[in-house]
Structure 1
Amino acid sequence: MELALVVAVIVIALAFDYTNGFHDAANAIATSVSTRALTPRVALIMAAVANFAGGIVGTGVAATVGKGIITAPTGTHGLVIVLSALIGAIVWNLITWYYGLPSSSSHALIGGLTGAGIASSSTVLWQGILDKVVIPMVVSPLVGFLGAFVLMTAILWFFRRRNPGRVTRGFRIAQSVSAAAMAFGHGLQDAQKTMGVIFLALLTAGHVRPEDPIPLWVVLAAAGAISLGTYSGGWRIMRTLGRRIIALDPPRGFAAEATAASVLYVMAIALHAPVSTTHTITTSIMGAGATKRVSAVRWGVARGIVTAWVLTIPAAGAVAAVTYFIAHLFLE
C-alpha cells in the first residue's frame, strides 16, 4: 500500500505540475502575444524551453516547500496528507483556470499543504509560512507594481525624443528577451515547488533523509512536466493578463516582464521564497499600465483577480482538508 501511495503522489504531483504549466503559461507570454511581439505558437515554444531550463537551475525553493511548510508524519499517514494537499491545489487550479482567473498555483499548493496539515493534526510550521510565504506574498506584488512603474517612467523619459515607430519596433524585439526571462523565472520558481512536494513524499516514506539533496530524476521530471504544460497553453488566462487588465504596448510589456522576472530571480535565488509568478506579473502589468494614466488600468478586473488571490490559500486548504478526511477513511 505504501509503495502504491508513493507512486500515486508522484504521479499526481507531476499532474499538478502540468496544470501549473498550462495555468501559468500566460504569465510569461501574455504581454508578448498581446503586443504582437511574438506569435502565440512561437511564444509557447519559447516559454516551454525556458521553463525547462529554469526548472533545472537550483533547488532552494524546493527545499522550502519540502521542509519548511509542514512536518508530515512518516508512513502511509504522511503520504495521505501530501496526496490530499495536491488534490486541493489541483482542484482550485482547475476552478480558476475555467473562469479565466490568474490565481496563484504556488499559493494553492501552500494552501493545500496547510489545510491537509491542520486537518491531520500535523505540525504546521507557521513561522516558516510567515517568513517564506506570507511576507513574500505581500512584498513581491508591491515590488512588481512599483518597479514596473519606475522602469516604465524611465523608459518614457529616456525615449521621449525618439521616433515612436522605431521605439515600438525595438521594444518588440526586446520583449522576446524579457518574455524568455519571465518564462525562465517561472520555471525557476514553480517547477521547484513540485520538486519540494515529491521530496516531502519521499521523505515521509523513508526513501530520503532531510539533509539529502533533491534527486536528479525529481528535478528532471518536474521541469519536464511544467514545460509540457506550458506548451499546451493557457488561453483563457492569457486573455485576462494580456488584454483585460490594460491594452499594452511593447515598451510597457517589456517593463512589466523585465520587472517581474527580476523579482522572481531574487526571491528564488537569494531568499528561497516560493512567490507567485501570477501575482508578480499581474501587478507589474498594472504598474507599467498606470504610467499611461491611472484610469487606463481596468481596476474592476483587477479587483476580481485580487479576490481570487485572497481566496486561494483558504479555498485550496479547505478542499485539501475535505480530501484528507475522505482519504483517511479509505486509505489508512
Structure 2
Amino acid sequence: MGDWSFLVVAVVLTALAFDFTNGFHDTANAMATSIATGALPPRIAVAISGALNLVGAFLSTEVAKTISGGIVDDSLVTPAMIFAGLVGAIVWNLVTWVFGLPSSSSHALFGGLIGAVWVGAGVKGVHFSVVTEKILIPALASPLIAGVVAVAGTYLAYVITRRGRQEEVTRGFRAGQIASASLVSLAHGTNDAQKTMGVITLTLISAGVLSHGSGPPWWVVTMAGLAIALGTYVGGWRIIRTMGRGLADIQSPQGFAAETSATTVILASSHLGFALSTTQVCSGAILGAGVGRRLAEVRWSVAGRMVLAWVFTLPAAATVGGLAAAVAQQGTAGIVVVLVAAIAVATAIYVVSRRNPVHAANVNDQPTTAVISPSAV
C-alpha cells in the first residue's frame, strides 16, 4: 500500500476547499426561491440547507464511484494531476461567483480534472465515452426535463388553488416550500458531496493508499459532507440573488413547483450514478416555473448568459486545470507555484467582491446590473 505523502495530504485538503466553494456556490439551488418569496429568512434558510447537505452526503456513493473509477483512468492518474484539476475547478467557481453566475460546480470539477489528466497522461487517460454518457447527455437533458416538470407543476398549482383565498394559498405554499427546499438541499448533498468523495478516493487510489475500484471510506464521506455543509451555511448570496430575483418573477406556488421538480430529477439521477449539475437542474426548474405562470416575467437575457456560462465551464476549467498540471508535474516547486498562484487569484477575487457586497440583508434587492457573461471575464 502507498504512503500518505505531503502531496496526497495537500490534494485532500484542496479537494475539501473545492467542496466548500461548491457549497456556497450552490446554496442558491435549494434556497433562492424560498428566500425570494419570503418562505424562509435568509440565515435560517442557509442553516437548514447546510444541515441537510450534511445528511444527504451519507445517502449514496454511486456518483462518487462514477468519478473515482469512471471518467478518467485511475491507473494513469497521479495526485499532482488531481491537485491541478481541483485548482482549475476552484478558480472557475470563484470567477463565476463574483459575477453572480449560477454556473455548474460539478462541470467545473469535471473540466478541471479532464484537462489535468489529458495534459498529464494523454488522451488515453480520459474515458470520453463515460464523459458523454454520464456527464454531457445529462447536462443537456436534465434542465429541460426539470423545466418541463416545473411548467406542468406550476400550472396545476394555480389551477387547483384558483378558487382559494390568496392569503391562505400563499401561506400554504410557503409552508410547502420549506419542505421542498429542504428536499433540494438533501438531494444536493447526496449528489454534489459525492463528487469530492470521488476525487479524494481517486487520489488515494492513485497514491496506492486504496486498491483500484475502491469506494470512498467512511471518513471521506464524513469530511466531504462537513465541508459542503459549512460552505452552504456561508451562503453564496450573489448567486442566490440571481436565481431568486434575476431569472423570473417567482411566487410561492412557483417556488414550490420548481423545488419539487428539481428534487425529483436530482435524486433519480443520483440513484442512477449520473453526476449531473444541480445548478442546471434548479435553473431549468425556475425557468419552467416562470413559464408556467401566466403573465410572469421571464428574463431570457439572463437565462442566455447563464447558458453561455454553462457552455464555457468545462473548457475553461479544463484549460486552467491543464495549465496547472503542466506546472505541478515539475515537482514540489511546481506544486508551490500553482498553490501560490491559486491563492493570489482567490484573494484578488475576494477583494473585487467587497466593492459591491451582497449579503443576507440585501439579497432580495433587485439586481441593479446585468449578469456579466463569461466572455467578458
Deviation per residue, 1:37-78 (Å, 9 max, x gap):
00001101100011000011110000001111111446xx71
Match of 1:90 in 2: 90
Q: How many residues align?
A: 329
Cα distance, 1:159 vs structure 2 = 1.4
* Contact 2:61–2:194 (CA under 8 A) maintained in structure 1: yes
Deviation per residue, 1:88-114 (Å, 9 max, x gap):
000000000011100000000010111
Question: In the aligned structure 1, how far is the partner of 2:229 from the partner of 2:297?
Answer: 33
Question: In the aligned structure 1, how far is the partner of 2:89 from the partner of 2:16?
Answer: 12
> What stretches of structure 1 move > 3 A for 4+ residues in a row?
none
* Contact 1:69–1:113 (CA under 8 A) maintained in structure 2: no
Question: In the aligned structure 1, how far is the partner of 2:25 from the partner of 2:293?
Answer: 29
* Contact 1:72–1:81 (CA under 8 A) maintained in structure 2: no
Larger helix percent: 1
Query: Structure 2 regions of 5+ residues with no counterpart?
Result: 335-377
- Higher mean alpha-carbon deviation, 91-100 vs 150-159, is at 150-159
Cα distance, 1:291 vs structure 2 = 1.7
Question: In the aligned structure 2, how far is the partner of 1:44 from the partner of 1:295?
Answer: 27
Question: In the aligned structure 2, how far is the partner of 1:2 from the partner of 1:171?
Answer: 51
In structure 1, give the amino acid aligned to 2:160.
F
- Greater RCO, 1 or 2 (C-alpha within 8 Å, sep 6+): 1
Query: Structure 1 regions of 5+ residues with no counterpart?
Result: none
* Contact 1:22–1:229 (CA under 8 A) maintained in structure 2: yes
Match of 2:280 in 1: 279
Question: In the aligned structure 2, how far is the partner of 1:275 from the partner of 1:175?
Answer: 23
Cα distance, 1:209 vs structure 2 = 1.4
Question: In the aligned structure 2, how far is the partner of 1:215 from the partner of 1:20?
Answer: 21
Write the mapping of 1:174-323 to structure 2, written as runs, cut at 5 A.
174-269=176-271, 271-293=272-294, 296-323=297-324
In structure 2, give the amino acid aligned to 1:303.
G
* Contact 1:24–1:234 (CA under 8 A) maintained in structure 2: yes
In structure 1, give the amino acid aligned to 2:310.
W
Match of 2:109 in 1: 109
Change (3 A) 1:95 1:294: farther
For the residue of structure 2 that corresponds to 1:70, the secondary structure is coil
Deviation per residue, 1:113-158 (Å, 9 max, x gap):
1111211215110111111001111111011110000111111221
Change (3 A) 1:193 1:294: farther
In structure 1, give the amino acid aligned to 2:282.
I
Deviation per residue, 1:257-301 (Å, 9 max, x gap):
0000110000001x1111111000011000011122477110011
Cα distance, 1:329 vs structure 2 = 1.9
Question: In the aligned structure 2, how far is the partner of 1:223 from the partner of 1:273?
Answer: 19
Change (3 A) 1:295 1:181: closer
For the residue of structure 1 that corresponds to 2:212, the secondary structure is coil
Backbone CA RMSD of aligned residues: 1.4
Question: In the aligned structure 2, how far is the partner of 1:201 from the partner of 1:165?
Answer: 54
Cα distance, 1:2 vs structure 2 = 6.6
Write the mapping of 1:44-63 to structure 2, written as runs, cut at 5 A.
44-63=46-65
For the residue of structure 2 that corresponds to 1:238, the secondary structure is helix
Question: In the aligned structure 1, how far is the partner of 2:18 from the partner of 2:128?
Answer: 24
Question: In the aligned structure 2, how far is the partner of 1:315 from the partner of 1:213?
Answer: 29
Question: In the aligned structure 2, how far is the partner of 1:274 from the partner of 1:12?
Answer: 20
- Higher mean alpha-carbon deviation, 240-249 vs 206-215, is at 206-215
In structure 1, give the amino acid aligned to 2:328.
A
- Higher mean alpha-carbon deviation, 180-189 vs 291-300, is at 291-300
For the residue of structure 1 that corresponds to 2:215, the secondary structure is coil
In structure 1, give the amino acid aligned to 2:118.
I
Match of 2:331 in 1: 330
Identity rate, percent: 45
- Higher mean alpha-carbon deviation, 159-168 vs 226-235, is at 159-168
Using the size of structure 2 for normalisation, the TM-score is 0.85
Match of 1:149 in 2: 151
Question: In the aligned structure 2, how far is the partner of 1:23 from the partner of 1:244?
Answer: 16
Question: In the aligned structure 1, how far is the partner of 2:309 from the partner of 2:139?
Answer: 14
* Contact 1:149–1:290 (CA under 8 A) maintained in structure 2: yes
In structure 2, give the amino acid aligned to 1:249.
Q
In structure 1, give the amino acid aligned to 2:239.
I
Using the size of structure 1 for normalisation, the TM-score is 0.96
* Contact 2:28–2:240 (CA under 8 A) maintained in structure 1: yes
